[in-house]
Every structure is written in C-alpha cells, then in structure tokens.
Amino acid sequence: MMNKENLEKLFNEDLGSSYFPWLADIYFKEGDYNRAKEVCNIGLFLNPQNNDGKFILAQVAIIEDDSKTAINLLKEIIASDDLYINAMKMLVMVYQSSGKNKASMIKVVHQILDLLPGDEFASKILKKSLSKKKPINRKTKTKRIIKKRVVSRSATKALSPKKKKISKPKKSEANIDPKMATLTFVDILIKQKQYEKANNVLNLVKKKKSISQNSIKVRIKKIVEGLQEK
C-alpha cells in the first residue's frame, strides 16, 4: 500500500489520479480536514463520479456541522452504487444524530438489512426506532400511585447514596455498538461537545489495530481540551 509521501507525489504529478481518496483519507484521519477537503474537491472536479472521494467529503461536511451537504453527498453515492454499505450506515448515523427524517432513516436501514440480513448495526437502529412505550394498565398505574404515596409519606427520610446512583459513567462504553466505534463518530460527538461519550467511543476505536496512533492522539487532545473548558 502506498504511503502518504508517495500518494502526495502521485497526486501532484496527476491531479486526476483515481488515488486521490487514499490521500484525502490519510489527511482526514490525521485531523487535517481542510487539506482532505481540498484534495477531494480537486479530485472530484476531474473525477466527478468517484464515490470514495464523495464519502470522505461527506465526512468532512459532518465535522463542519454541514449535515445538509453530507446527506446530499451520501444520497448521491447510494443512488449510483446501491452496494455502498458504508455510505448507508453513515447516512443513518447523520439522521440519528439530527433526530430528524426518521422515515428516511428507516428506509436506509431496510436497504442495509436487504443487503446484509441480520446486520447488527442496522438491526439495533431498527429495534430502537420501533420500540414504543407500552400502555400502562390499571394494575401498573395503581401500583405507581401507591408507591408515590408511600414515598411522599417518608419524604423526610433522605434517600441513601446508593439509590441516587442510577448509573456509572464507566459502564457507558458497554452500551456503544462496536460497529459505530469509528473516528468519524468520535468527531461527530466532539463537534456536539459530548466529550465523555466521545472518549468512550475512542476507547473502543483504540482496540482496532488499523487505526494510527497519530489519529487517536489528535482526538484525545480535542477531548481533553473540551473537558477542560467545561
């Protein structure tokens, strides 16, 4: 596989090279989003149908909090290549992060499941989106009223510290789908200033040997700076 220096040389010699997404991806993983965007824009000008370039550009758009551009790019990719699973999953993540376009999100989830039946990522998203609060029957409602009265009568008694601790932050990592543990997802969480969750996802990303330590250090620095600002 070509290294960064070889790709830069190849790109400078031939701006129309189909290898430009490889170079842009390296810049993106290093946190050099402006350079990644520049390479993609040049590459796509000469190779407008290159879906890998569009995918990286969509990731940069997410970092820049430009979800509209990201969604349009991801839709373009899927429209021209209905087997581009990564674009589908990224589009679902954007929809899920915004909390909008639930119908569109479910449609893409079904596309993923049609190609990969039983896919863990898509299955969890679908299950979560379809889950609704069960109607409270009379017995349950009565129990809650009784419980409420009992609590009100003993309101003078302070709750023990154990009851106040509903959950422990350290366990949040276990609730994260490993398939969503990507540098892009970490960047999205950092952009939304969800630094604790970003750190938990990054801990899962660290376990992947294919991720460079330099890329991880860039995110750790941003998380630490974000936590210090709070």
**pLDDT band at 148, cuts 50/70/90?**
low
- The DSSP output letter for 48 is T
Long-range contacts of 37-46 (CB under 8 A, 24+ apart): 39/11, 42/15, 43/11, 43/15, 43/16, 43/17, 46/15, 46/16
Task: Tell me the C-alpha distance between 24 and 50, whole Å.
Answer: 13
Instruction: Report whether pLDDT(56) > 60.
Output: yes
Q: How many CB atoms lie within 10 A of CB 129?
A: 15
Are the C-beta atoms of 63 and 154 separated by less than 8 Å? no
| Chain region(s) in the chain for CATH 1.25.40.10 | 1-79
Nearest CA to 85 out of 58, 56, 57, 113 is that of: 113
% residues pLDDT > 70 (the chain): 77
Nearest CA to 127 out of 177, 75, 186 is that of: 177
Mean of pLDDT values over 163-171:
43
> CA-CA distances (angstroms) from residue 32 to 10, 80, 113?
19, 28, 34
Instruction: Report whether pLDDT(21) > 90.
Output: yes
Q: What is the pLDDT of residues 89-137, one digit of tens each?
A: 999 999 988 888 889 999 999 999 999 999 999 999 988 887 754 444 5
Q: How many CB atoms lie within 10 A of CB 87?
A: 25
Would you state the structure tokens that stand for residue 125, as one six-digit string? 């998203």
Q: What's the pLDDT at 217?
A: 84
**pLDDT band at 179, cuts 50/70/90?**
low
Average pLDDT of every residue of the chain: 80
1-79, CATH topology level: 1.25.40
Q: What's the pLDDT at 137?
A: 54
**pLDDT band at 150, cuts 50/70/90?**
very low
- The DSSP output letter for 176 is S
Are the C-beta atoms of 205 and 211 separated by less than 8 Å? yes
